Structure 1
Amino acid sequence: MVVDDRTTAGGQLAGRLRDLRADRPVVLGLPRGGVVVADPIATALAAPLDVVLVSKVADPADPEFALGAVGEGAVVVGGCIAPGLLGSALQAVAERARRYRAVRRAVPVAGRTVVLADDGIATGATVLAALRVLTARRAGRVVVAVPVAARAALKALSPFADRVECLLAPPRLGAVSRWYADFREVTDDEVLWLLAAHAEVPA
């Protein structure tokens, strides 16, 4: 079984999350692919759409493997990251923040229900970094929504989230792209367009 694409998967997740609509949640996507997943969820829940800015720190020898991750506010996940790699990742987060925040100011999350969406979870490092960012911002209930994830990563993340919704958790994940019929690259311009399209929803 595979999912068609990020938008379709987001729609399927939205069906599982309709009970949250009364909570007036905030829907946050992890750029870039997670924002495409988050888009139909935000629409279904009549919720504002925003991003949590994080960056995977990839192993130079194996870019699919994450050594760790960093997030807004100098959040760092992973203890054995070379200073050069760490600095580059933090700079990437800062640069993306400048670009995205010109279109969408950060939606307040303190005390609110948050749906955190990504397009796939392999190691869980980037989602864990995002969860730490949300903890620092005093988010209320946090629900992780993802189409495809490694079982070990879901188990590792579950203590840090109030709820996790996942469409597929295969015993051997491999590359996340294997589980999508269409896993084309998402650009920053597409993310900016989605944020602008939801900008009129009250925060």
Structure 2
Amino acid sequence: MPYTTADITFADRRDAGERLADMLVEAQWTDPLVLGLARGGVPVADAVADRLDGELDVLVARKIAAPGQPEFGVGAVTAEGPAYFHEDTLRRLGLTPSDLAAATATERAEARRRVRHYHQGREHIPRHGRDVLVVDDGLATGVTATAALRAVAEDAPRRVVFAAPVCAPESADRLRHEADDVVCLATPEGFGAVGMWYRDFHQTTDERVVSLLEAARGRTLGE
């Protein structure tokens, strides 16, 4: 069960990852693979992977926005997995997945482009039969996390867990239908936005993601 408190604040994503790892290290993991949701989830995931002696990889999920409302996500898609749409939101807006086919294709293409850039020509690390932890810097609406978890499920992991330092309570509850477990350090009422819970929440760059993946690969190979 997540630890619930309304007054938790993180210095930055590394601090959040280390504190999240303090909770996760108490569990037993089989061949753990930690997937950071790009971009902001990767520094958090890096701290978790380091503590769990697990491999680190990146997972890209792109929000699918409502027509004319670029900030209003009604679904999400990854590079290869099935698109996810929030059905209640679609009904409320009078939309169907077919209405969003062009937007879905655009976002999937961007997800694939980013994956190629982050992996620098390498394949993603195999997920089959492993404990896979999908890590983000926070859980707000949950649309990108849901798409990410469904994509991972396609690869038949042994277990899939979503973990984040801070989560909107209702989103964490919904996500429990998608993962074997959902781990949140805090599920505060009046969640607001993820950035409210960080003192330093500057944007993670693509270059930072690539750097963290390269460093983690070096650790794994003993370089």
Question: TM-score normalized by structure 2?
Answer: 0.84
- Compare 4-13 and 78-87 and name the one that shifted more: 78-87
- Compare 156-165 and 18-27 and name the one that shifted more: 18-27
Aligned residue in 2 for 1:122: 140
Aligned residue in 1 for 2:91: none
Aligned residue in 2 for 1:33: 40
- Find the aligned partners of 2:31 and 2:82 in 1 and give their Cα distance: 27
- Find the aligned partners of 1:75 and 1:69 in 2 and give their Cα distance: 9
Aligned residue in 2 for 1:199: 217
Secondary structure of 1:87's match?
helix
Aligned partner letter, 1:23: T
How many residue pairs match? The answer is: 201
Aligned partner letter, 1:48: E
CA drift at 1:20:
4.4
Aligned partner letter, 1:45: L
Aligned residue in 1 for 2:92: none
- Find the aligned partners of 1:172 and 1:77 in 2 and give their Cα distance: 26
- Find the aligned partners of 1:38 and 1:19 in 2 and give their Cα distance: 16
Aligned partner letter, 1:151: P
Secondary structure of 1:49's match?
strand
- Find the aligned partners of 2:49 and 2:70 in 1 and give their Cα distance: 34
Aligned residue in 1 for 2:19: 12
CA drift at 1:85:
2.0
Query: Residue by residue, what CA displacement relative to the aligned partner does 1:57-105 show, whole Å, maximum 9, x if unpaired?
Result: 2344361x32110012152011645233222211111111221222653
Q: Is the 8 A contact 1:21 1:45 kept in 2?
A: no
Aligned residue in 1 for 2:51: 44
> Measured at CA, do residues 22 and 114 of structure 1 come closer, stay the same or move farther in structure 2, by a change above 3 Å?
closer
CA drift at 1:129:
0.6
> Measured at CA, do residues 106 and 21 of structure 1 come closer, stay the same or move farther in structure 2, by a change above 3 Å?
farther
RMSD, aligned CA:
1.7
2:150 is the counterpart of 1:110:
no
Question: TM-score normalized by structure 1?
Answer: 0.92
> Measured at CA, do residues 154 and 8 of structure 1 come closer, stay the same or move farther in structure 2, by a change above 3 Å?
same
- Find the aligned partners of 2:44 and 2:79 in 1 and give their Cα distance: 21
Structure 1 spans left out of the alignment, 5+ residues: none
